[in-house]
Amino acid sequence: MIFSEPRFLLFFALVFGVHWMLRSNAPRKVWLLAASLFFYGSWNWKLLALILGCATVDYVCARLIARARERGASGKKWLITSLCYDLGTLGFFKYYNFFADSAVDFLQWLGLPASEVTLSIVLPVGISFFTFQAMSYTIDVYRGKLKPAPHFLDFVLFVTFFPQLVAGPIVRASEFLPQLQKKRVFRDVDTQRAFGQFLSGFIKKAVIADLMAGPVEAVFAGPAEYTALSIAIGVLCYAIQIYCDFSGYSDMAIGTARLLGYDLTKNFNFPYLATSITDFWRRWHISLSGWLRDYLYISLGGNRGSRLFTHRNLALTMLLGGLWHGAGWNFIIWGAIHGLALVVHKEWLRYVGEGKLPILSRLITLYTVLLAWIYFRAANFGDAWVMTKAWVLWQSPGEKTVELWSPIAAWPVEHRILLLTVPLLVLHVLTNWGVHRFCRRVLPAWLVTMLFGVLSAIALSFMPIEARPFIYFQF
């Protein structure tokens, strides 16, 4: 069940209606937990044991850590137990085959005998998200930043809360658990704002991202056949697709949670308008970059050492961030490019200074981010290399041009890309300036509602019939 499907709308209408019909907090939490488990179970009922197991282990470990701290001990062994369980689960389901395959390849490369050890493992939806969320909780309790959740029900709801369960944002317990204690009143919910956020997410995902999928799939399926220009357009379309897909999902998640009276962390802040690669990571997948900074980069020592030490930590954090996205060398290379770019930016700051050459800095940032997307999306290293040469050296490996938007088949590719990207970019900049907030302030509420109705009808009309799954579900 994905947010842009009609059955989700039916599911949510039921959850929303019952949630606000219930009078007090406790039954509402039970209802939301039941709905969340049903939502997750709709993918695979058997995997409910996995998420409930993760929640139980982390809840118990956090309580044991707190008890140990009361006795004056550190509770480190319980933290290690919790981390081993979470990382073990993640490692087994997500990375076992990757590491087993890589080890076999390596042994075979050395000329040593090695047999296939790949297992048929189902990748549970959202495993990277809920394990990271649960881990942050025990680490925060261990660091003394957070008291353990008062009730098991609250903690399980925090881990399984359906709006953010399968693709984030990665919510921190310190932000979510206090909300569970608050009394919730429907009139306090800004429903128009929440619905507007859901609708904007729906348009981003179901219309823009899914329409972009066509040209992206064409180019990435066989880049060797295309011209450098077509490859560049394919990469640009992918940048738009992944942004709209992921930020669209996050918007829908935040909008859905808001309609139920909960606030989730902002996950995107116009990343392609970033002034530097460091700024990009403050704007892209904010909840993950914040998590990596607080629980990995700082744990590695952060910038509390020599320049080289800081650079190592940055590169390592981004490498592991790449690996978090998926079990594949392409993700590691993607992380490495970002790690290297962050290191180069640190040196840029040292030699050029903060805020200097802003236009050049923005262009270099965008160029690097788009280069890295090639490795994120390419089917194999060979394709990625062909595309990199086209992107960097403008070498055309083939003759074919991309059909960006098949209906306007005869339009030159350059025109077609303008047709889509220019209005999107203008909209992107305008919303960055807060035009949507201005409109909501100036326009009467009924007019905004009418505008939503018109936008919804047009979005439905332009949404491809065959919906594509969210890209980040695979992570």
Partner 1 sequence: MSKHLLHVALYAVILLLTASVIRSYDALPYWGMARGKLAFLEHHLEDYDVLFLGSSRVHNGFMPSVFDERMTELGEPVKSFCWGQSGQRQHDYDPIIDWLIGQRPQRLKYLMIELHAWVQGPRNNNWMSAHEIGRHQWQTFRTRAVSLLIGRDDFGTKCEKLLHCGAHVLANTFRIGQGPRILDENLAPLDGRKRWKRWRIPHEGWKELSQETARKRRLKVHEEWRSRPDRAAGQLAKKRENIAIPRFNGGFNHGGMERQIERLRAAGIEPIYVIMPHYATNFLGRDGALEWADKVTILELDRPQLAGPIYDFSNWFDSAHMIKSGAQLCSKKIAEFVHEAGKKAIFDSK
- 450 interacts with partner 1 by CB under 8 A: yes
Q: How many whole angstroms separate alpha carbon 245 and alpha carbon 238?
A: 10
Judged by CB under 8 A, the residue of 266, 453, 469, 474 near partner 1 is 453
- 407 interacts with partner 1 by CB under 8 A: yes
Please state the three-class secondary structure of the chain as a single string.
Answer: CCCCCHHHHHHHHHHHHHHHHCCCHHHHHHHHHHHHHHHHHCCCHHHHHHHHHHHHHHHHHHHHHHHHHHCCCCCHHHHHHHHHHHHHHHHHHHHHHHHHHHHHHHHHHCCCCCCCCCCCCCCCCCHHHHHHHHHHHHHHHHCCCCCCCCCHHHHHHHHHCHHHHCCCCCCCHHHHHHHHHCCCCHHHCCHHHHHHHHHHHHHHHHHHHHHHHHHHHHHHHCHHHECHHHHHHHHHHHHHHHHHHHHHHHHHHHHHHHHCCCCCCCCCCCHHHCCCHHHHHHHCCHHHHHHHHHHHHCCCCCCCCCHHHHHHHHHHHHHHHHHHHCCCHHHHHHHHHHHHHHHHHHHHHHHCCCCCCHHHHHHHHHHHHHHHHHHHHCCCHHHHHHHHHHHHHCCCCCCECCCCCHHHCCCCHHHHHHHHHHHHHHHHHHHHCCHHHHHHHHCCHHHHHHHHHHHHHHHHHHCCCCCCCCHHHHC
- 462 interacts with partner 1 by CB under 8 A: yes
Q: Name the amino acid, one letter, at 171.
A: V
- 212 interacts with partner 1 by CB under 8 A: no
CB of 408 to partner 1, least distance (A): 6
- 456 interacts with partner 1 by CB under 8 A: yes
- 13 interacts with partner 1 by CB under 8 A: no
CB of 154 to partner 1, least distance (A): 28
**Tokens linked to 280:** 């990009």
Please, which of residues 162-201 interact with partner 1 by CB under 8 A? 186, 191-192
Q: How many whole angstroms separate alpha carbon 16 and alpha carbon 10?
A: 10
- 469 interacts with partner 1 by CB under 8 A: no
Judged by CB under 8 A, the residue of 77, 358, 460, 469 near partner 1 is 460
Judged by CB under 8 A, the residue of 147, 224, 457, 474 near partner 1 is 457
Residue closer to partner 1, measured from CB, 13 or 107: 13
Residue closer to partner 1, measured from CB, 119 or 185: 185
Residue closer to partner 1, measured from CB, 43 or 411: 411
Residue closer to partner 1, measured from CB, 186 or 367: 186
**Tokens linked to 58:** 């982390």
Q: Name the amino acid, one letter, at 66.
A: A
- 445 interacts with partner 1 by CB under 8 A: yes
CB of 26 to partner 1, least distance (A): 23
Residue closer to partner 1, measured from CB, 35 or 463: 463
- 423 interacts with partner 1 by CB under 8 A: no
Judged by CB under 8 A, the residue of 463, 468, 470, 471 near partner 1 is 463
Contact window for partner 1 (CB under 8 A) among 44-52, 156-164, 245-253, 406-414: 406-414
- 110 interacts with partner 1 by CB under 8 A: no
CB of 445 to partner 1, least distance (A): 7
Closest CA to 261 of 450, 28, 421, 447: 28
CB of 458 to partner 1, least distance (A): 7
Q: Which of 19, 325, 338, 345 is an active site residue?
A: 325
Residue closer to partner 1, measured from CB, 359 or 410: 410
Residue closer to partner 1, measured from CB, 119 or 410: 410
Residue 127's contacts (CB-CB under 8 Å, 6 or more residues apart) are 50, 89, 90, 93, 94
Judged by CB under 8 A, the residue of 410, 441, 442, 444 near partner 1 is 410
Contact window for partner 1 (CB under 8 A) among 42-50, 74-82, 323-331, 453-461: 453-461
Is there a catalytic annotation at residue 345?
no
How many residues in the shown chain lie near partner 1 by CB under 8 A? 29
Contact window for partner 1 (CB under 8 A) among 225-233, 336-344, 387-395, 464-472: 464-472
CB of 41 to partner 1, least distance (A): 20
Footprint on this chain of partner 1 (rule: CB under 8 A): 6, 186, 191-192, 211, 405-411, 445-446, 449-450, 452-454, 456-458, 460-466
- Residues designated as active site: 325
